[in-house]
């Protein structure tokens, strides 16, 4: 569905926007204020049109009494379309260089485990892609020492989808046939991940502004998430990542994202094309 034109954005008055924000905050714990204003207003406008509400004020009244619509709005606000091995060169780099480097660093430092954190994991394709790489290319290392994959998202409903591990063929366009045959079972036109892959990812409902909940990590994938936040909030999140990454830990951003300002001093660029950085 195409997003509404800018003219429609400003039909949402500041008062109506505040009412909608208060409802989301009080009932769902979702804070509109941290996201880019235009992006959020466009997505609210989508639901105003979809519910045939005459204006934003009427839509706000609907939200007060309709929990189903509140869930629908939250889904639109947090939607992330993904697929397995999205942007294959990034995963090639992870497989060939980054994961071997982290394993070597772990052995050198005598650490007992590694933690890989997938931020804004949506329906699970990214963390499961990591799990598939580990199973395919590092099976002995996975068996020998613990490698935990933590996957977080602000949308609790989409995490339930992720835990099921069932996907349409369009989500597996970049998965090699041999990997499909080994780690998926085809049923009713869908691909079902095997339990041993699903068990490798721990899905948790977390907000990126709950800084005290950030896990100590060796690898953080935060791709195509920061683009939704205002710049000042991006900086807070990136500083939080730098704080919890272990010495020499790796951060991977999306292709349209980059480090900026003072945060650049906390990271060394490893691969500018794939937006891969090492904490210093």
pLDDT digits (tens, 9 = 90+) for 204-216: 999 888 888 899 9
Rounded to whole angstroms, how far apart are CA atoms 107 and 127? 23
Q: Which residue has the tokens 């395919």?
A: 136
Q: Which whole-number Å values give the CA distances from 101 to 78, 133, 275, in the listed order?
A: 33, 15, 17
Tokens of 8: 């429609």
Handedness of CA 78, 203, 161, 130 (dihedral sign): positive
Tokens of 71: 């869930």
pLDDT at 81 (0 to 100): 67
Dihedral (Cα; 159, 161, 165, 168), 10-degree rounding: -130
Q: Which of the four pLDDT bands, split at 50, 70 and 90, describes residue 7?
A: very low
Q: Is the pLDDT of residue 78 over 80?
A: no
Q: What is the mean pLDDT of residues 79-108?
A: 91
The mean pLDDT of the chain is: 90
Handedness of CA 155, 120, 207, 73 (dihedral sign): negative
Domains and CATH numbers, the chain: 6-77 (1.10.155), 88-279 (3.40.50.150)
Q: What is the mean pLDDT of residues 14-20?
A: 91
**Residue 247 CB coordination number (10 Å):** 10
Q: Which of the four pLDDT bands, split at 50, 70 and 90, describes residue 22?
A: very high
Q: What is the mean pLDDT of residues 21-39?
A: 81
Give percent above pLDDT 90 in the chain. 65
Q: Which residues pair with 278 in a beta bridge?
A: 250, 268
pLDDT at 115 (0 to 100): 96
Q: Which of the four pLDDT bands, split at 50, 70 and 90, describes residue 250?
A: very high
Considering only CA atoms, give the Rg of the chain.
20
**Residue 18 CB coordination number (10 Å):** 13
Q: Which residues pair with 280 in a beta bridge?
A: none
Rounded to whole angstroms, how far apart are CA atoms 152 and 122? 8
Q: Is the pLDDT of residue 155 over 80?
A: yes
Q: Which of the four pLDDT bands, split at 50, 70 and 90, describes residue 40?
A: confident
Q: Is the pLDDT of residue 34 over 80?
A: no
Contact (Cβ atoms closer than 8 angstroms) between residue 11 and residue 56: yes
pLDDT at 2 (0 to 100): 42
How do strand 166-167 and strand 146-153 relate by DSSP bridges?
Answer: unpaired
Q: Is the pLDDT of residue 79 over 70?
A: no
Q: Is the pLDDT of residue 224 over 90?
A: no
Residue 70: left (phi > 0), alpha (psi -120 to 50), or beta? Answer: alpha
Q: Is the pLDDT of residue 4 over 80?
A: no
């Amino acid at each position: 569905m195409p997003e509404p034109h800018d003219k429609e954005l400003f039909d949402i008055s500041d008062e109506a926007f505040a009412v909608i924000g208060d409802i989301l905050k009080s009932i769902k714990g979702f804070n509109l204020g941290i996201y880019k204003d235009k992006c959020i207003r466009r997505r609210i406008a989508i639901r105003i049109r979809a519910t045939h509400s005459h204006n934003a004020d009427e839509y706000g009244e609907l939200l007060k009494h309709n929990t189903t619509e509140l869930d629908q709005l939250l889904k639109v606000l947090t939607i992330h379309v993904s697929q397995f091995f999205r942007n294959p060169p990034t995963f090639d780099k992870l497989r060939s260089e980054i994961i071997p480097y982290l394993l070597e660093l772990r052995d050198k430092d005598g650490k007992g485990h590694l933690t890989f954190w997938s931020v804004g994991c949506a329906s699970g394709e990214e963390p499961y892609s990591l799990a598939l790489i580990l199973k395919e290319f590092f099976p002995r290392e996975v068996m020998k020492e613990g490698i935990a994959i933590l996957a977080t998202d602000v949308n609790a409903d989409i995490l339930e989808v992720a835990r099921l591990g069932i996907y349409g063929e369009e989500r597996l366009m970049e998965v090699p046939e041999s990997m499909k045959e080994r780690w998926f079972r085809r049923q009713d036109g869908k691909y079902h991940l095997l339990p041993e892959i699903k068990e490798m990812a721990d899905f948790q409902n977390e907000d990126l502004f709950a800084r005290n909940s950030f896990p100590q990590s060796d690898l953080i994938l935060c791709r195509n998430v920061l683009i939704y936040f205002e710049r000042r909030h991006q900086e807070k999140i990136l500083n939080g990542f730098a704080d919890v990454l272990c010495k020499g830990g790796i951060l991977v951003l999306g292709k349209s994202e980059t480090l900026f300002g003072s945060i650049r001093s906390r990271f060394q660029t490893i691969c500018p094309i794939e937006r891969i950085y090492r904490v210093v």
